[in-house]
Amino acid sequence: MLQSGRTDFDKLLRLTGDQLRLKITKALAHPKSRLVVSYGGALHNDLHPDGESAPYSFAPAVSAQVGGALVELDLYVPEYIGKDNPARKAAWYALAAKKKGLTLVERNPGSFVLLFPRKK
């Protein structure tokens, strides 16, 4: 992943997405598999990725493999969402940030955000 002493983030993100897709596909192929849960992923689990992050997401391919039964769930802790995080600009963030308690928001069909409550 190093190129001239620097991390090649494009290669790293592609490799991570590809490996997640391969592991999930292998788990789905197991004869006793009824449900596969993958934790982690950040942009790799985006069911509806934007053009820039599309090459890194396993979700569209896996969703097609399971007939659209894939559900994306992103977990957010408000205190960990930095000021420059794109999530702050998302329409769901302004709505969810006003609510108290655990908040589930559907961003797109099959794509959800779970926003944890702020610590006091």
Q: Which residue has the tokens 């709505």?
A: 95
Q: Do residues 65 and 21 share a domain?
A: yes
d(Cα 117, Cα 106) in Å, to the nearest integer? 17
How many domains are there within the chain?
A: 2
Amino acid symbol at 110:
G
Question: Span 61-79, mean pLDDT?
Answer: 92
d(Cα 72, Cα 46) in Å, to the nearest integer? 7
Identify the band that residue 5 occupies on the pLDDT scale cut at 50, 70 and 90.
Answer: confident
Q: Do residues 21 and 62 share a domain?
A: yes
Q: Do residues 37 and 92 share a domain?
A: no
Q: What is residue 15's predicted lDDT score, i.e. its pLDDT?
A: 94
Q: Do residues 64 and 75 share a domain?
A: no
d(Cα 21, Cα 80) in Å, to the nearest integer? 27
Q: Is the pLDDT of residue 4 over 80?
A: no
Domain with 84, as residue range(s), is: 71-120
pTM of the model as a whole: 0.82
Q: What is residue 64's predicted lDDT score, i.e. its pLDDT?
A: 95
d(Cα 65, Cα 51) in Å, to the nearest integer? 21
Question: Span 47-60, mean pLDDT?
Answer: 92
